[in-house]
A and B are shown apart, each in its own frame.
Chain A
Amino acid sequence: MHIVDRRLNPNSKSLENRQRFLRRAKAQVQDAVRTASGGRDMGKALEGGEVSIPSDGVREPRLRTVPGDVQDHILPGNKTFSEGDVLPRPGGGGGRGGAGEGDGEDAFRFMLTREEFLEMFLDDLELPDMAKRRMASVEREGLRRAGYQTSGSPTSMSIGRTMQLALVRRTALKRPTSANLAALEAELAECKDEARRKTLTAEIEAAKTRMRRIPYIDPIDVRYRRFEVEPRPVARAVMFCLMDVSGSMTEHMKDLAKRFFLLLYVFLTRRYKQVDVVFIRHTDKAEEVDEDTFFRSPASGGTLVSSALAAMARIVGERYSPNDWNIYAAQASDGDNAHGDGQVTAQLLTEAVLPVCQYFAYLEVGATSHLRQSMPESPLWTLYERLQEEGAPLSMRRVEDRNEIFPVFRELFRKRDAQQVAR
């Protein structure tokens, strides 16, 4: 009898089957993921969890019978029945309970992990202009294997290649192997014929000399692995979150903004190894704050959008050189801006901010739609729309309800080929 402790064996034996299952049901799972994420709270929106897909695509049909018209059942636990009793059928109308189960389950429910959930959710999205910037950015250096060389440090010696070359040389120079030698010696031990013995001894001597003269491994066989310095593209990103926190921004609006920022953050973390986040909030003056303050602490004052843009430009200049970093920015606001700030904002945006940014998204968060219909376009929206028409690379969307966040986000980052103009 053996007792084996399997607990330390790798756990994920079913992982591949699971991935195959998800791939097979991909379309349905993606739909399910999007529906599921829409109704959830931000904190949990991308947590993974239970989804339910129509079972049609993943059905495993079997031939099975449905009960006929006449059935007999044996049951345990008789209490009062006697032979010949007639019991009313359950569920009236002559229908029979339990019979004719029909098509069985019509939905398959299961849990997704956070990773799978995100994978499905972000599957067909891409970061705009990433390729272009990557190539243009200054590159760091890394080492890459590149063939073999004849000199190097002992640690980088390539045993395999060395032995290979040694074998080639030994074969070419006909160095006797130890097996040859052993065979000769064995023959000598057996041999009685004097003349033959003599030739054998001579042959053995010759072989031994040859073996001494031709070394098993020669210094000329030794090879070392060669490494080459290779430039590596930068894979760092910084994300600027700009938000108006003036009195006109309600909690609801901030909540919408937060959802959007979080999505962008999650998205970036999946594309870049390292993602920094800078929170800049502004009223009539801007300040860099931590996340908690950004979303929670109240502030009051007027509204000067240009202050935030100036702050961002300053921080970029100080800490995030556009050569080293991919820069993304998302701005959320209710659209208010102080009268007379428009010109400054436009100038800052087009001259200082947009040129260094990979992507700039403006999200206008509104209260409720029926209010807005009667109102004219907000000052900021009008301004940005004009800049966009002039060719500034910025994307803008309006969001009023939390259900719209996901569709808007998806729309902004949809794959390019599916979308002619990235606006």
Chain B
Amino acid sequence: MSSDKLLFREGGDWNFSTLQRIYDACEDVAVNELGLDVYPNQIEVITAEQMLDAYASMGMPLFYKHWSFGKHYAYHETMYRKGWAGLAYEIVINSSPCVSYLMEGNSATMQTLVIAHAAFGHNHFFKNNYLFQTWTKADTILDYLDFAKRYIAKCEDRYGQEEVARILDSAHALMGQGVHRYHGARGPDLRHEEERQKSRRAHQERIFNDLWRTLPTAAKAASPDFTERRRALLGLPQENILYFLEKAAPRLTPWQREVLRIVRQVAQYFYPQGQTKVMNEGTATFVHYKVMKRLHERGQISDGNYLEFLQSHTNVVAQPSFDDQRFSGFNPYALGFSMMCDIERIVTEPDDEDREWFPKIAGAGDPMAVLRDIWANYRDDSFIGQFLSPRLIREMRLFQLHDDAGFKEGIQVEAIHNERGYRRIRRELAKQYDVGAREPNIEVVDVDLAGDRRLIVHHHVVGGALLDRGDAERVLQHLADLWSYEVALREVDADQTVLREHLAKPREAAQFEWV
């Protein structure tokens, strides 16, 4: 191996021209060989302190001010200073240009890994996955956050920090219920409404014929149900509670609505990340593995440095067994990476089992094309539901436990890695990653507009899983403060039986100072 090809010397030191060389080499592999399509990259080198700062603001380089971020900072700082937790090697932001933060303490090998991982793996995923495309606007997010930061600072100047913090507290409590989950038809805005009205008018004028008036009509149909009409007017049922409040809460001032909107937009921006943990990390890990392997094959990384890489890669993709002390659920890096390696194998060297299970991709020839398609069009639950292969189930020795409190003898082993178990295990694992099953399904159902304006919210209980009582009551209090009238949260099961009901009245301050 000639040493002039090496990107950096053994020993691990790097400087900014090394970084540039590393980046160029990674780019060559990622774009020309793997066919990745990425946003322009921006790579920023930061210190541990700055990494902690980034942790505290959900990884974003700028954010509005709120005490909860200070709390998170204090927490992470303590964890770090006490040595209980290390810091990430990198943070990457779904924006265009895609910003990757690299820790200054990484060795040159690690920087290579991290650039391949974040600047190409994650970046490609952000740019191409349908969830991110649908729900996030990468090119404007930083500007939006800048706007949000300044807007909230301005509100603080004008209305006081306390007042703004109170709205933010309440909005944060409802952040999980502040996202649109379906892209369904939105209500038309005023301008479109007006146009539609005009065209309808024109149409009526065109077909006007006074004769129709003289025709006898059947008895007038009963006037439509008032409840239904009201619900339709308010856009109910509505599962995006923050959106509903922003549009319909009776006593919020415009700036308060705007603050709700900001929190809602931020929540929406982060919404895809929770649903693509396995795929996102899997993609990034797969890409860094491919890139590093190629760089080593080309002689651009020395054997020693490659071993350093392999060691940390192995740590990243380690999946402890269920009975291991370190076990804390599935490692998304490990699961995603092994599934993608498995797909590569199915595409290139399928066996009979693969042909039976994956007729479409088995032996398709070009693993990268298949993977790029998968990266673009799936999220965690659909990805696992489609592509977890029997071979991988055997390799990981997956099994399913069925824990039924009614079954006194104990916990049953429902399925293991055998012919009868593959589908069941796959379906159940996919369900574990399904947002619909993981997060409570909560909807604003109705408002008693004619009466005491009480807001009625339903939690559709799945599998008997009720809300945590303490937190539910606290959140409901926040909801009542924003709605400024009574709020009832009913937990109903599939037969509309109310299993539990929570009530909250708005607090004093909320009633008077916001008018």
Contact = CB atoms under 8 A, between A and B. Distances in A.
Contact of B475 (A63, A67, A89): A63
A83 interface: yes
A20 B156 CA distance: 13
A423 to B, nearest CB: 38
Contact of B399 (A24, A78, A86): A78
Contacts of A71: 402-404, 463
Given A11-B49, A81-B413, A67 B70 contact: no
Looking at B16, B432, B465, which has the most chain A CB atoms within 10 Å of its CB? B465
| B19, B50, B478: most-surrounded residue (chain A CB, <10 A) | B50
Contacts of B397: 76-79
Interface residues of B, number: 100
Contacts, number: 255
A36 B472 CA distance: 33
Given A4-B44, A81-B416, A74 B408 contact: no
B290 interface: no
B428 A62 contact: no
A18 B440 contact: no
A11 to B, nearest CB: 5
B324 interface: yes
A56 to B, nearest CB: 10
Contacts of B378: none
A96 B57 CA distance: 36
Interface stretch (B75-83, B126-134, B279-287, B363-371): B75-83
A146 interface: no
A48 to B, nearest CB: 11
B53 A13 contact: yes
A111 B474 contact: no
Given A7-B47, A59-B474, A77-B321, A111 B77 contact: yes
A108 interface: yes
A182 to B, nearest CB: 39
B187 interface: no
A7 B105 CA distance: 11
A24 B67 contact: yes
A94 interface: yes
Interface in B175-221: 175-177
B158 interface: no
A19 to B, nearest CB: 7
B97 A110 contact: no
Query: Which 5 residue pairs across A and B have the least CB separation, nearest first?
Result: A77-B321, A68-B464, A21-B70, A17-B70, A61-B474
Interface of B: 16, 19-20, 23, 27, 40-47, 49-50, 52-53, 56-57, 65-71, 73-75, 77-78, 81-82, 97, 101, 104, 161, 165, 169, 172-177, 319-324, 327, 330, 396-406, 408-418, 420-421, 425, 428-429, 431-432, 439-440, 442, 459, 461-468, 470-472, 474-475, 478
Interface of A: 1-7, 9, 11, 13-14, 16-24, 50, 58-79, 81-89, 94, 96, 101-103, 108-111
